[in-house]
Structure 1
């Protein structure tokens, strides 16, 4: 059996300390940005997992993680607030040479769009209000009838803008990691249910679908539809960035995690299946996601090519 190495995880405060030796001595050096699937969540640490903790690679690897729960993709590329991430990616003498960027992004942007109220007054948020009230939607047409098509276009435009901003920063003159792969995963299908992550933290999907008077029998099919559309968007992101934004070498590598986890039953309210709550996997679930992540051959191929 080939040797597998767990990924050494550093937080940004450990750079320029003796902990940095883990990064300097590793074959693969990974820069991480993302949400709760890559970070310690809002629950106590002993109740929280993530994909990174369970990853194993064929060579020694270390990752510096800027991920945090609840972070949107739009926040990740807000360089004023993400100045430290900016510095290590493209900050001239402060920048590191990375072999890949690992990205967990888009989920919270999607939840924001789903949770947006019909009464939203912010023009940008209102343009991405994803769901239709009963009086606004057709009587037939499958679960797509619940979705504002113009809002979905606006939502994907926002995510495309975020990819463009990240790639522009990656490939800027101050970067030592130009053109390295950006590995971005899809999400698996969460069962909309009354299973919050903690007091006042969720649920997300169940609450929005109830507020928009969507029949419960359509909650999971609608969720699947949205996740599938997100995955389809990712599968074409390189072509779209090249065609529509003029980016020569986007080098975004989608990691498909759909169908990995055992779903939670619709009526469950706590940890069930491979899920700790409505949208966060259990420790076991994160372990399964990590295995699925590792098995996608292009990860090793792309990272190895960048490291060569």
Structure 2
């Protein structure tokens, strides 16, 4: 008989300070990241939260520094998160760290325009997309639109930031504890932004691909190319045990997610908007990722389960 699974208990740093007895917990995790982790009520009501859907066979708590504040927009913002740095660097001992980072940086790199404000051309090493006069041969597929020079710059940036996070972990009592990262599901570029009124309200990939005149028929494949390259990069870092000790990466691109309909502007498939999953999408990825996390925490061999079906905690 399958053991009963319990949802991860998520607390903000302030709530963690007021928490009393922790003896009933099997695992304690520290979490930080982008809007996939943020559990501010306006974000959870707007789309979903991956942390909320994580489940474990024994009581598990996560202190999320994404919390009720703005989620990370760039990896380098980790350095400016005092709660995360304080909790990682010695105020508490954790069984592991959960990170949701890299996706916003990828989107920002895709949004870099071909022309700078003074009219000069942005060097290829500083952008991910090629303007029409720079496209490669049709035989290259959607790779003809992609700047490998810019990708190399992004890779250097992400590797340096990951090394820095691991060095922060290893400076204190949490040295060597596993750092868990997920990859990102592949979105369909479409005119579906969030309800927020700030500059990050989206859509995100859709205007970038339009600005570079990439044919609409290639948008879905272009998105898959970029997200697959990010997944390959993260998995390569995790495989480098000396350079990135105990970095654990889960490939979310392999979880079957119902795609949104091209051109749709609202909830579609397993997506709330262009880049955020709805609750059914988060449920699917979180259940698969939970299995990976618990296997590492418990030291048991990872058994790949069948992809989950159904909806998450919320309808």
TM-score range, shorter chain: 0.7 to 0.9
Residue-by-residue CA offset, 1:195-238 (whole Å, 9 max, x unaligned): 11125611111110000110001100011111111111122103
1:47 and 2:41 are equivalent in the alignment: no
> Distance between the aligned counterparts of 2:170 and 2:58, measured in 1?
26
Find the counterpart in structure 2 of residue 179 from structure 1: 176
Residue-by-residue CA offset, 1:253-297 (whole Å, 9 max, x unaligned): 11111143100110211001000000001112111111121233x
Which residue of 245, 253, 264 maps to 1:250? 245
Contact 1:41 1:69 in 2 (8 A): no
Find the counterpart in structure 1 of residue 296 from structure 2: 302
RMSD: 2.3
1:240 offset after TM fit, Å?
4.3
- 5 Å-filtered alignment, 1:127-138, equals 127-138=125-136
> Distance between the aligned counterparts of 1:282 and 1:188, measured in 2?
12
> Distance between the aligned counterparts of 2:214 and 2:20, measured in 1?
53
Find the counterpart in structure 1 of residue 224 from structure 2: 224
Contact 1:8 1:22 in 2 (8 A): no
- 5 Å-filtered alignment, 1:124-273, equals 127-140=125-138, 141-172=140-171, 175-198=172-195, 199=197, 201-240=201-240, 242=242, 247=243, 250-258=245-253, 259-273=255-269
What stretches of structure 1 of length at least 5 have no aligned partner? none
Q: 1:222 to 1:42 in 2, by over 3 A?
A: farther
> Distance between the aligned counterparts of 2:287 and 2:43, measured in 1?
25
1:32 and 2:31 are equivalent in the alignment: yes
What stretches of structure 2 of length at least 5 have no aligned partner? 301-315
> Distance between the aligned counterparts of 2:213 and 2:174, measured in 1?
48
Q: Which moved more, 1:251-260 or 1:184-193?
A: 251-260
Divergent runs of 4+, >6 A: none
1:304 offset after TM fit, Å?
2.3
1:59 offset after TM fit, Å?
1.0
Q: 1:236 to 1:45 in 2, by over 3 A?
A: closer
> Distance between the aligned counterparts of 1:250 and 1:152, measured in 2?
24
> Distance between the aligned counterparts of 1:104 and 1:151, measured in 2?
22
> Distance between the aligned counterparts of 1:70 and 1:210, measured in 2?
26
